[in-house]
Amino acid sequence: MIEQMERPAIAVRPEEFRQADSGDREKVFELKGVGVDYGDAAAVKDISMDIRRNDVTALIGPSGCGKSTLLRCLNRMNDLIPAANVHGELLYHGEDLYGPGVDPVQVRKLIGMVFQKPNPFPKSIYDNVAFGPRVLGRTESLDVTVEKALRGAALWDEVKDRLSDNAFGLSGGQQQRLCIARCIAVEPDTILMDEPCSALDPISTGKIEDLMIELKEEFSIVIVTHNMQQAARVSDRTAFLMVELDADEDNRWGRLVEYDETEKIFTNPADRRTEDYVSGKVG
C-alpha cells in the first residue's frame, strides 16, 4: 500500500491552483480497510482511501479488479445482491454508511448513481427526470426542478420542445445525459458513475466529460472508467486498482495499488505497477 503523497507545492493546472486547498477539503468518503465478499470469494480487499468533496475521483484498473464493486459499496447498491458482504469501515461525512441505523434507501437519495448502459425509464423525458422528486414527495414546482436538472445535464436545449416524448427516442448520449439529469433532480450530494461513457461515441463522451467538470462545482463525483485518457482528462484524483491472485491462482480479488493526484498517477506514479498500467504495458 502506497502512502498518500503530499501535494506538490506548485500547481500545474489552473483548476488545481483554484483548488489548492484540496488536501484540506472536507472528506465525503473515508474508507478504512473496506473489503467486499461475494459469498466466500473476496471481490476487493482492504481498500483505504479518502474521497474529497467537489473532486472528480476516478477508479481505474484492469477488468475484474473490483472497481465497480467498490463503487457500488458507496451507495449500498451491493445490498441488492444477497450474497454480497461489505466489511471494514466506510464513513460518509463521518457517519458509518453500514451502521445499524442506516437505511440504504436514504443513502441512495444522497448518493446518486449513473450506470454503464443508459437506462432511461420507458416513460416521457419529463417523467424520467420527475421520477426521483416524485417518489421522494417533492412535487412542488416540479417543472422548475425538471428544467433545472435538464439544464444541469446540458440537455435542456435539445429536449425542451419534446418533454412529453418517450425517452427511448433519444440518442445514446442524450439518454445518458438524461440519466444524469434524473440523478441530479433529486439533489444528491455525490454522484457515482459506473463507466458512464463506455456505450457512447466519442462526441457524446466529450459532452459528458465536459458535464462532469461542470458538475463537480456542485457535487462530488466518483467515476469508474476503463478509459485512462478519460481519467486523465476529468479527474482530480485517481485510484489505481489491480487484480491480485492467491498462491495457487484459484482466487482473485482487487487491491488498491496507488491513490493520488491524477497528475501524479499519470506522470510520476510511485508504484511500478501503476506506471506499467498507465503507460499501456499491461492491462
Binding site for other proteins (CB under 8 A): 75, 77, 80, 82, 105-106, 108-110, 112-113, 115, 117, 119-122, 131-132, 134-136, 179, 182-183, 186
Least distance (Å) from other proteins to the CB of residue 118?
Answer: 9
- Proportion of the chain in helix, strand, coil states, percent, rounded to 5: 35, 25, 35
Strand partners, 60: 240
Least distance (Å) from other proteins to the CB of residue 154?
Answer: 20
Cell of 161: 420542445
Between residues 82 and 202, which has the closer beta carbon with respect to other proteins? 82
Between residues 75 and 204, which has the closer beta carbon with respect to other proteins? 75
Least distance (Å) from other proteins to the CB of residue 12?
Answer: 35
Least distance (Å) from other proteins to the CB of residue 114?
Answer: 8
Cell of 235: 479527474
Amino acid, res. 143 = D
* Distance from the Cα of residue 33 to its chain's centroid: 19
Strand partners, 30: 50, 91
Between residues 182 and 255, which has the closer beta carbon with respect to other proteins? 182
- How many CA atoms within 13 Å lie on the side-chain side of 177? 27
Least distance (Å) from other proteins to the CB of residue 58?
Answer: 20
CA distance 113 to 111: 7
Which residues, in sequence order, are CB contacts of 111 under 8 Å at separation 6+?
74, 75, 92, 188, 189, 190, 191, 192
Between residues 70 and 113, which has the closer beta carbon with respect to other proteins? 113
